[in-house]
Amino acid sequence: MTKFAALASSMVLAISAPASASTFIGDTFAGSYQFPVEGRTTVNGGLSVVAPSAEFTFLTGRINPTARIFASSILITFAGNGRYVVSDFNGIYLENLSRSIIAELTLGPGTTVDGFDQSRISFTENTIGFNFQGLRFRAGDQISANVEFVGSAVPEPSSWMVMILGLGAVGCAMRSTKRKRKAAFLFG
């Protein structure tokens, strides 16, 4: 393998190295309980910063869910027994006020609520909704969700430095190869 090929391959590896994973740590969330439609707040949970978690408790009668946001997951626990009425939306709505980074939200294996499935979770890059309409809950029931984050589209400063050094090294290698060919032509 020539110097040029070795330098080029190391530069490609540096460019394709994954950026560090995002988390919710340090993000500010607004929490609310919305009913009978998404967008109509019936219980305002206020604001909370994820450090190392953020917590919202919604006093909705007997069931009283608590949502905890961690670095890359969400856990909802129910304090009492009961059933939420059927409506367009009857549940928890969480909004990340710091940034838009949610790429995917999937139901976790710790979910114990009968009838709660992936279709009851809605999300955008910075909002998450959990719709409980028509479901029955028992004290201690839980819903867990795992978050995948949007990758960084802009390389970090250290990646830029590696790319610039790699391009410089490739340029030097090409110049050196060109000089050797010229010398071989003149003296060969």
Whether the Cβ atoms of residue 50 and residue 70 lie closer than 8 Å to each other: yes
- How far is it, in rounded angstroms, from Cα 28 to Cα 77? 21
% of residues, the chain, pLDDT over 90: 65
For 130-159, what is each residue's pLDDT tens digit?
A: 999 999 999 999 999 999 999 744 455 555
Neighbours of 90 (CB within 10 A): 22
Name the more confident of 19 and 185: 185
Domain boundaries along the sequence of the chain? 3-20+153-187, 28-149
- pLDDT, tens digit (0-9, with 9 covering 90-100), for 45-59: 999 999 999 999 999
> If we measure between CA atoms, which residue out of 115, 122, 38, 119 comes closest to residue 83?
115
Closest residue by Cα to residue 43 from 77, 93, 83: 93
Provide the pLDDT confidence category of residue 10 given band limits of 50, 70 and 90.
very low
Does residue 77 surpass a pLDDT of 50? yes
